[in-house]
Amino acid sequence: MSEIKNTVLADIKTCMKSGDKPRLGVLRLISSAVKQREVDERVETDDAAMLTILDKMAKQRRESIEQYTAANRTDLADAEIAELEIIKSYLPQQLSEDEIAAAIDEAVAATDASSIKDMGKVMGILKPKLQGRADMSAVSSLVKSRLG
């Protein structure tokens, strides 16, 4: 069983005892997403899968924050920001721009990528290394600009 999953489940119990309802709600969303994946794919969730789930949830929150901010709904944006912070607490430390650039350079060199056609190879190497530690859509944009 995943270490991250165990931590989330333990934190759910702690929040129930302490009455931390906002955090409990987000943790239940995470737990629900994990259970949904396990039922759909009939697999036990490992840490790599947990990072994928958490990364997807964080991306959804970031997109919602942008939309709510654009629509001048600061109340809803603030709620999404709070949820995002809780989700991020279960993700590993985010990489700096220099670390991401170095990883991209390394992947491009390893695959001998020379054009945008080689993007799939480069992303194939980067995704397992950077998942949960960087915004993969931003990484994808950086790879495009590097190869394009």
pLDDT in tens, 17-53: 999 999 999 999 999 999 999 999 999 999 888 988 9
Tell me the domain boundaries of the chain.
3-88, 97-147
**In the prediction, which pLDDT does 25 show?**
95
Q: How far is 114 from 148, CA to CA, in rounded Å? A: 9
CATH number of the structural domain 3-88: 1.10.1510.10
Q: How far is 39 from 31, CA to CA, in rounded Å? A: 12
Give 146 or 1, the one with higher predicted confidence. 146
CATH number of the structural domain 97-147: 1.10.10.410
Q: How far is 55 from 102, CA to CA, in rounded Å? A: 21
**In the prediction, which pLDDT does 5 show?**
93
Q: Are 2 and 45 in contact (CB under 8 A)?
A: yes
Ranking 12-16, 49-53, 72-76, 85-89 by mean pLDDT, the lowest is: 49-53
- Asked whether the whole model's pTM tops 0.85, one would answer no
**Whole-number average pLDDT of the chain:** 92
CB count within 10 Å of CB 114 equals 9
Residue type at 9? L
